[in-house]
Amino acid sequence: MFHPKKASSMNSPMCDSGLVLTTDPKPRLRWTVELHERFVDAVTQLGGPDKATPKTIMRVMGVKGLTLYHLKSHLQKFRLGKQPHKDFNDHSIKDASSLELQRNNASSSGMMGRSMNEMQMEVNRRLHEQLEVQRHLQLRIEAHGKYMQTILEKACQTVLAGDNKAAAAGPTLNFPTLQDLNMYGSSDHLHHQGMEMESLKRSTPYTGKSPLIWADDLRLQELGTASCLDDQIGPLSVDRGSDIDSVSDIYETKPMLSSGGHDHKKYDVKMDRPSPTPPRTVAISAGGMRSSPFG
């Protein structure tokens, strides 16, 4: 019944059974802006989200391929979004009496229901905010690292230029100390001052644990309920992916990722992934779930 269509192949997506479906094995519905607007129109026509029922909405919208199931859950979310204090009930029941029964039922357990909803909303909100913060933090750390590079580059130029003079003025040129530190792996590539600065530059963006670890932390915060977040957090550490290997060289004198228990917690990534090729991008979906609420 649903066949995945690419949106680009349709002229006016809403004319036919113009549903935009994802290409997942499970047929899912993506609520585009247009579709949602039609939905809202229909609901308004029917007298608001409380009066409208999935069946009536379906009739009013007149969109082929839209099922009661889709509408039920979307209506539920819509209600939650619009009126957080209303409890949501299954409004596929049509007759007023049972509706009333439900309402009466709801009022006693309504208190419970309402605060549960509020808590759920609150949790959702917090999680959303936390993800925002995380995204911003990543960008800020990168900016911090880029600036650090400018400092190092400048210093590199200055040193290379003033090498002869510097030796005469006071403390001896201490570049060899970087070499002594043997932080940057074998000493082979450290014979050149410029190289040392280079490796310093490469290591700039990383603060410790790889940001890839965030993915795992997020999964731990799975809510287990329908998340209202559709968007996926973009891949972390995209253009820094190539640096991961070099950073591991820099900070370990022995091959890393073979860590037993006790060393470097920095790269102790808890995810299962083949070492030593870390993935370039990590897509993190809200709450660690990829399933959309639309089943």
> Where do contacts with other proteins occur on this chain (CB under 8 A)?
126, 129-130, 132-134, 136-137, 139-144, 146-148, 150-152, 154-155, 158-159, 170-175, 177-178, 180-183, 200, 203-204, 206-209, 211, 213-214, 217, 251-253, 262-266
Minimum CB distance to other proteins smaller for 173 or for 229: 173
Residues contacting 14, CB < 8 A, separation 6+ = 34, 35, 38, 63
Q: What is the DSSP-derived secondary structure letter of residue 189?
A: G
CA 227 to chain centre: 13
Question: In angstroms, rounded to a whole number, what is the distance separating the alpha carbons of residues 264 and 253?
Answer: 12
Q: Closest CB to other proteins among 141 and 228?
A: 141
List, in order, residues 6 or more apart from 249 with CB less than 8 Å away: 184, 185
Residue 34 or 217: the one with the smaller Cβ distance to other proteins is 217
Give CA–CA dist 61/38, Å, rounded. 7
As given in the structure block, the two tokens for residue 129 are 């905010």
Give the nearest distance from C-beta 229 to other proteins in angstroms: 16
Instruction: Please report how close the Cβ of residue 144 comes to other proteins at its closest, in angstroms.
Output: 5
- By beta-carbon proximity to other proteins, the closer residue of 94 and 140 is 140
Identity of the residue, 3 or 262, whose beta carbon is nearer to other proteins in the bound complex = 262
Instruction: For residue 250, give the amino acid letter.
Output: I
Closest approach of other proteins to the CB of residue 243, in Å: 13
CB of 136 to other proteins, least distance (A): 7
Which DSSP category does 29 fall into?
Answer: B
Nearer to other proteins, 78 or 214 (CB): 214
Buried b (16+ CB within 10 A) or exposed e, 172-181: eeebeebeee
Taking the least distance from each CB to other proteins, the nearer of 140 and 290 is: 140
Closest approach, Cβ 172 to other proteins, in A, equals 8
CB of 277 to other proteins, least distance (A): 22
DSSP state of 36: H
Helices (H) and strands (E) in the chain, counts: 9, 2
- What's the gap between Cα 206 and its chain centre? 20
Shortest Cβ 89–other proteins spacing (Å):
32
- State which residue, 80 or 213, has the beta carbon closest to other proteins: 213
What stretches of 65-206 show up as alpha helix (H) in DSSP? 68-82, 96-161, 163-168, 175-181, 193-202
Q: How far is the CB of 154 from other proteins (least distance, A)?
A: 7
Asked if 93 and 130 count as a contact pair (C-beta separation under 8 A), the reply is: no
